[in-house]
A and B are shown apart, each in its own frame.
Chain A
Amino acid sequence: MKRLKKHPVLDFERGKKISFKYNGKKIKAYKGETIAAALHAAGVKKLKHSSRLNRPRGLFCAIGNCSSCLMEVNGIPNVKTCVTKVKKGMTVKEQEGNGDL
């Protein structure tokens, strides 16, 4: 999904361009964006699968309440990607089930 360049009320001052890896692919982001937002802008809306029925899941609340966005980040599972900011060189993976602690 595209990033807005112009907006009638808001001015989007985007931070420095950085990139991170998602499932092996390089994803472009801006400093200050959350992992889930950057993935969204790159067209990735499916973030995980539900543990019992394997149903596709994605962003829902975007504020850290619902756990629909949990992914493995730099080897750590169950990271709330909707409230975690992108850092240069991060490795983001879709995790298996509930993740291994």
Chain B
Amino acid sequence: MMIYADVLVIGGGPAGLSSAITTAEKGAEVVLVERDDTLGGQLVKQTHMFFGSKNEFAGSRGINIAENLRKKVNENDNIKVFLNSTAQGYYDDGIVGISHHERFKKIKAKKVIVATGASEKMLPFPNNDLPGVYGAGAVQTLMNVYGIVPGENVLMIGAGNIGLIVSYQLLQAGVNLVGIVEADSEIGGYLVHASKIRRAGVPIYTEHTIQEAKGKSNVEKAVICELNDNWEEIPGTEKELEVDTICLAVGLKPISDILIQADCEMAYAPQLGGDVAVRDENLQTTIEEIYVAGDSAGIEEATAAMLEGELAGLSALMDLGISKKISKKQRRKTKENLASLRRGPVGRKIREGLKITKEGNDAGKNRYTHIR
């Protein structure tokens, strides 16, 4: 039995929700597929107030933005939602298979928007596989979704926005955060986040790394040390910390599986987290039916994800011939908003990465040619 749609959106996080709402509001028949049992993606764990502009919910907490978007989706009859459903593949005939409650279903959509988000990077160090070592997302899930404290004495690895934000959330949960370790010489995240952590008395050790974790069946200690200008460990600078939890916030990479499998041309853009789909400024990939938005298009943050979701949705609508004139005007505005968000110093990395996504590169092409 085939399910037909104008637009299939794979992923129900901020980008996917935004795509679904944008296209459905203009009358497109939309199917939204989400592997979790709730819509919202990473928004459901974000207890902090968002930055950005008023239109993109600045000042609202992520959890409330999720609720807001979820409501819009549920109230729109043009959107059919499949929860607990994982996209299995994009097949030759443009059909996407999904597993829905362990049953295989087929979806034939005119346009597909991939918004599958990101997964966490790992850091190699001895005993990094011990219970007690978590990705930052896992700590957020435990604390903010289930209200379960991950541990009593935590060491955070990484002072990017995720490391800083999750650190603050740990403090809010009453956990003892012994410190944040950052290999770079500078704090990578917003400095206002860092200032909150410092005035709570938590040290941030820049140019430090974790050398090893110690423990039998759980983390019991962590050994950190200083790094020199060549990122090499400086012997004699080891410090042993009594911790039962080590939280890794060392970066995200796009979940690109279905894009690769669908034979989209890929590019390697380290500024965007790794392998990303080559696409034009309208977020259309090298496969005509497929668009990409959000972290799966390149690691950024939720506000950009929502705007990209909107952009991909508007592009899909225009290419379908639905509400062409209105969509064109709206799309120009959305692109302006995205550009404005990325114009400042914190957007520099993104702008560099985006240059690569337009041109592609050999690293991206050669890595996946063997799959077909």
Does a CB–CB distance below 8 Å link A and B in the complex? Answer: yes
Question: Of the 9-residue stretches B144-152, B191-199, B272-280, which lies at the interface with chain A?
Answer: B144-152
Count contacts on B: residues with CB < 8 A to the other chain. 34
Q: A4-B173, A7-B173, A33-B146 given as contacts; is B63 within 8 A of A46 (CB)? A: no
Q: How many angstroms between the C-alpha atoms of A91 and B209 in the bound complex?
A: 41
Which residues of B line the A interface, CB within 8 A? 35-37, 47, 61, 63, 119-120, 129-135, 137-138, 141-144, 146-152, 172-174, 216-218
Which residues of A line the B interface, CB within 8 A? 1-4, 7-10, 12, 14, 33-34, 37, 40-41, 45-47, 50, 55-66, 68, 82-83, 85
Interface SS majority for chain B: loop
Interface SS majority for chain A: loop
Chain A residues with Cβ below 8 Å from B36 are 83
Please state if B47 and A37 are interface contacts (CB–CB under 8 Å). no
Q: How many angstroms between the C-alpha atoms of A37 and B146 in the bound complex?
A: 7
Please state if B131 and A59 are interface contacts (CB–CB under 8 Å). yes
Please state if A8 and B131 are interface contacts (CB–CB under 8 Å). no
Chain B residues with Cβ below 8 Å from A60 are 133-135, 138
Q: How far is the CB of B57 from chain A (nearest CB, A)?
A: 16
Please state if A55 and B129 are interface contacts (CB–CB under 8 Å). yes
Q: How far is the CB of B168 from chain A (nearest CB, A)?
A: 11
Q: A59-B138, A62-B137 given as contacts; is B131 within 8 A of A4 (CB)? A: no
Q: How far is the CB of B152 from chain A (nearest CB, A)?
A: 8
Please state if A56 and B217 are interface contacts (CB–CB under 8 Å). yes
Chain A residues with Cβ below 8 Å from B148 are 1-4, 37, 40-41
Q: How many angstroms between the C-alpha atoms of A85 and B137 in the bound complex?
A: 18
